[in-house]
Amino acid sequence: MKKTKIVATIGPASNSKEVLGELVKSGMNVCRINFSHGDHESNGKVFAIVKELRMELKRPIGILADLQGPRVRIAIDKELEITEGEIIRVSDPKSFPNFQFPISNFQSNPNDPISKIFFVDNDNVIDGIEVGNEILVEDGLKKVKVIKKEKEFLEAEVLVGGIIKNHKGVNIPDAKFNFGAVTVKDEKDLEFAIKNEADFVALSFVSNAAEIIETREKMKKILGREDFLPQIVSKIERKEAINNLDEIIEATDVVMVARGDLGIELEESKVVLYQKEIIKKCLQKAKPVIVATQMMDSMIVNPIPTRAEVSDVSNAVIDHTDAVMLSGESANGKYPVKTVTMMNKIVVDTESSPYDDVNEGNFNQNTLTDYMAIINSACDLLKNSDSKAIVIFTQSGFTARLISNHRFEKLMIVATNNSLTYNQLSIVWGARAYLLKEEEFNDKFTDSILEKCKNENKLKIGDKVVVVKDKSGKGVLPTIGIKEVK
């Protein structure tokens, strides 16, 4: 069985119960619902189907609600052609409050030598841009550079020309925006996702730790509690996020290397280097990390991947990512099940090789607490004994994430009595999760779990296991020991 988890985006090609069930059986651990598409009715159906499948298949399936975030887009009513070397203007709704967007009746001054202007759909964009900043349109296929800033507009020189079309995405890598953590649309989607019991909420275009903290406070207010919240997945896709990477990793629960926009905002040749840096830093901080975007992109239309795509997935596994993700391949591609099946095979083959063995230098050795000392002792015991597995009881999943970070080849069994934690373990590398019933939540839980594993042929009579009981919620340190399967 694979240890690296698979996240698959759900869309028109995969939102039926039949296909979703096949995706789970083929290796999907987390389904991503992209709130940039669909509406609450269609997305709500996916929530309902996944909950049914959890019960029927008796396994954890994570639900990741991906908020659209402050995406800036073109707002014009007709196409605009721009050519290299030409001087044009750029503006936003705040600068022209009397116009209906997309602009349909804008007339420039007939005596003005600059006759071309395009608008973006987000207020305050002009405020955040400075002279010298580049504005990239449609994944950087068109590019202009700001040469002058006025109150109502920017003047810019066209570096790469082409046709500017309505609603295409806009990236401004060096701009300093103050959009806040979530937009008005995101607020509604966040409340909907939480009330439908999402396990993870992804924040798009994260810039700093304050945005993560703000979102977590919103969650607490919606749920009316301080703990057992959906985990926040911070998507690293802006230049500003790279500059604030350490504080973002510290504040978030999970990190996503969102290579699509990251490859637009930064030099494409450096994206893989940032990917490796982000994964390493997440390992040091015991934060799960997802590698995403275009991993099997050709399988949107082809039944087999390119060799480069196979290498891409394999290298992410070798880098020790917790999860790899599919986007359009599973959402609207021709072969969603084949794609997950192929990704699963690549992961398994890579994990069975010696190339994904862990370098202990990846881990942060500076955390010298009593809690960590006990966890490290459990890991040493597993590594240096003839134990076949480690069995962890945890309420929050924190202990499991710490132990997972060691990337042991041996079986890692995690038991919890909390359903949210159970499904959140779907993103944690190597975790085989079991949900305990309340009547099993006692000092004999180990016997119950070992009996289940024995019946599933994961363990056999006589096997020894390291047992870690995390009573962190009760104010005491975890305990460790060794037990034999009876």
Report helix, strand or coil for 236. Answer: strand
33/37 Cα distance (integer angstroms): 9
131 and 196 within one domain: no
**Which of the listed residues 353, 381, 409 is the one where a domain comes to its end?**
353
455 and 469 within one domain: yes
Domain at 91, CATH number: 2.40.33.10
Residue 360 scores a pLDDT above 60: no
Residue 439 scores a pLDDT above 70: no
Render pLDDT for 34-45 as a digit per residue (tens, 0 to 9). Answer: 999 999 999 999
* Tokens encoding 220: 């607490």
Q: Which of 9, 252, 293, 421 is catalytic?
A: 293
282/76 Cα distance (integer angstroms): 41
**Which of the listed residues 308, 324, 353 is the one where a domain comes to its end?**
353
| Poorest-pLDDT segment among 249-258, 370-379, 409-418 | 370-379
pLDDT score recorded for residue 315: 96
pLDDT score recorded for residue 101: 67
Residue 365 scores a pLDDT above 60: no
Q: Name the residue with higher pLDDT: 180 or 263.
A: 263
Q: What is the mean pLDDT of residues 151-156?
A: 91
Report helix, strand or coil for 47. Answer: helix
| Poorest-pLDDT segment among 79-93, 171-185, 272-286 | 171-185
347 and 216 within one domain: yes
Q: What is the mean pLDDT of residues 384-395?
A: 92
Contact between 320 and 279 under an 8 Å Cβ cutoff? The reply is: yes
Q: Name the residue with higher pLDDT: 196 or 1.
A: 196
Is 198 within a domain? Answer: yes
**Which of the listed residues 140, 171, 202 is the one where a domain comes to its end?**
171
Q: What is the mean pLDDT of residues 88-110?
A: 76
pLDDT score recorded for residue 244: 96
Q: Is 116 a catalytic residue?
A: no
Q: Is 51 a catalytic residue?
A: no
At residue 422 the predicted structure's pLDDT band, cuts being 50, 70 and 90, is very high
Calculate what percentage of the chain has a pLDDT beyond 70: 94
pLDDT score recorded for residue 470: 80
Average pLDDT of the chain is 91
Is 250 within a domain? Answer: yes
Q: Is 83 a catalytic residue?
A: no
Residue 279 scores a pLDDT above 90: yes
Residue 236 scores a pLDDT above 90: yes
What is the domain count for the chain? 3
Residues paired with residue 257 on neighbouring β-strands, in sequence order: 236, 291
pLDDT score recorded for residue 95: 80
CB-CB neighbours of 416 under 10 Å:
26
Q: Name the residue with higher pLDDT: 181 or 201.
A: 201
Residue type, 311: S
Domain at 406, CATH number: 3.40.1380.20
240 and 375 within one domain: no
Q: What is the mean pLDDT of residues 185-209?
A: 96
pLDDT score recorded for residue 111: 76
Q: Which of 45, 73, 383, 454 is catalytic?
A: 73
Calculate what percentage of the chain has a pLDDT beyond 90: 70
Is 361 within a domain? Answer: no
Is 360 within a domain? Answer: no
Q: Which of 2, 32, 401, 432 is catalytic?
A: 32
Q: Is 235 a catalytic residue?
A: yes
CB burial of 123-142 (b: ≥16 within 10 Å; e: otherwise) equals: eebbebbeeebbbbbbebeb
334 and 197 within one domain: yes
At residue 176 the predicted structure's pLDDT band, cuts being 50, 70 and 90, is confident
Q: Which of 142, 235, 407, 432 is catalytic?
A: 235
Q: Name the residue with higher pLDDT: 306 or 93.
A: 306
| Poorest-pLDDT segment among 49-63, 79-93, 292-306, 442-456 | 442-456
Residue 368 scores a pLDDT above 60: no
pLDDT score recorded for residue 140: 87
Q: What is the mean pLDDT of residues 11-37?
A: 97
pLDDT score recorded for residue 437: 81
Is 426 within a domain? Answer: yes
Three-point CA angle 397, 460, 418, nearest 5°:
20
With CA atoms as reference, report the closest residue to 252 among 295, 219, 225, 224.
Answer: 219
Going by C-beta distance under 8 Å and a sequence separation of 6 or more, which residues neighbour residue 322? 4, 5, 282, 288, 289, 290, 404, 427, 428, 429
Q: What is the mean pLDDT of residues 472-482?
A: 73
Is 297 within a domain? Answer: yes
Alpha carbon separation from 186 to 80, 222, 328, 382 (Å, rounded): 30, 14, 21, 44
Is 380 within a domain? Answer: yes
87 and 57 within one domain: no
Residue 424 is part of which domain span? 367-484
Residue 363 scores a pLDDT above 60: no
For the full predicted model, state whether its pTM sits above 0.75. yes
344 and 216 within one domain: yes
Give the β-pairing of 80-82 and 142-149: unpaired
At residue 362 the predicted structure's pLDDT band, cuts being 50, 70 and 90, is low
Residue 181 scores a pLDDT above 90: no
pLDDT score recorded for residue 105: 63
Residue 366 scores a pLDDT above 90: no
At residue 252 the predicted structure's pLDDT band, cuts being 50, 70 and 90, is very high
150 and 238 within one domain: no
250 and 287 within one domain: yes
259 and 194 within one domain: yes
Domain at 348, CATH number: 3.20.20.60
263 and 192 within one domain: yes
At residue 359 the predicted structure's pLDDT band, cuts being 50, 70 and 90, is low
Angle between helices 336-351 and 17-26 (to 10 degrees): 10
pLDDT score recorded for residue 98: 74
At residue 33 the predicted structure's pLDDT band, cuts being 50, 70 and 90, is very high
Residues paired with residue 156 on neighbouring β-strands, in sequence order: 88, 146
312 and 186 within one domain: yes
Is 332 within a domain? Answer: yes
